[in-house]
Amino acid sequence: MNKKQIKSLISLTNRLHKQKYPMIVIIIIMVLSLLMSRDFLRILFPIAPDECEVLSIYDGDTMTLQCSGKTEKTKVRLYCIDTPEMKQKPWGAQARDHLRSITGNTVKLVEVDKDRYGRIVGEVHSGEVNLNLAQVKAGKAAVYDAYCKKSEYQAAEKEPKEAKLGIWSEPGLHQTPWEWRKQQRSR
């Protein structure tokens, strides 16, 4: 549940309480709301990864897939990571090329969420390799802390930072692509 949903649930609970609904009814409504939330359902019923054919890799954290059983192409944003934009030369092209080099023709997609552009946000595996983590470990991607809830990504980022690999080899906005995009929008 996101903050907005939690606030709505609290507001509803308060209104029901003021209207003198029995506490058991309020508790049942709260429990049902939690059970129906997408995050909770994923914990109870993990979704098997989709088998997908790789159609294209646009940059270091975005790919287009054709997943089995779906007629539409699936645009995927790699969860937990952010890579330099293609206009951030040479970093963007290096991140894209590395992702292309470690990605097979078919992958497994584990959907985590959808972003504001309607793309699937997920972890993508090529064979036994988690491509999201591989990008971080190779120094081609920064962990996008604002959207990452898995500590393994922050742990994986420490080594390339210390070794000054890839984007960590020299300071700059290529290390924080989200800041670079923000700066570009304000121009």
Q: List, for residues 48-71, the tens digit of each pLDDT value.
A: 678 999 999 999 999 999 999 889
Is pLDDT at 39 greater than 80 in this prediction? no
Q: What is the pLDDT of residue 186?
A: 86
- Is residue 130 classed as helix, strand or coil in its secondary structure? strand
Strands (E), the chain: 50-59, 62-67, 74-78, 81-82, 106-114, 120-126, 129-130, 142-143
50-185 topology per CATH: OB fold (Dihydrolipoamide Acetyltransferase, E2P) (2.40.50)
Q: What is the pLDDT of residue 28?
A: 85
Q: What is the pLDDT of residue 40?
A: 58
Q: What is the pLDDT of residue 87?
A: 96
Residues annotated as part of the active site? 77, 85, 119
Contact partners, residue 144, CB within 8 Å, separation at least 6: 80, 81, 82, 178
81-139 tens-digit pLDDT: 999 999 999 999 999 999 999 999 999 999 999 998 889 999 999 999 999 999 999 99
d(Cα 121, Cα 139) in Å, to the nearest integer?
A: 21
Strands (E), 42-178: 50-59, 62-67, 74-78, 81-82, 106-114, 120-126, 129-130, 142-143
Q: For the whole model, what pTM was predicted? A: 0.75
Structural tokens at position 106: 């078919």
Per-residue pLDDT band at 175 (split at 50, 70, 90): very high
pLDDT, averaged across the chain:
89
- The DSSP output letter for 48 is P
**Mean pLDDT, range 9-16, rounded to an integer:** 80
Boundaries of every domain in the chain: 3-44, 50-185
- Is residue 153 classed as helix, strand or coil in its secondary structure? helix
Structural tokens at position 137: 């470990």
Quote the crossing angle between the two packed helices 3-18 and 23-36, to the nearest 10°.
160
Q: What is the pLDDT of residue 36?
A: 67
Q: What is the pLDDT of residue 48?
A: 63
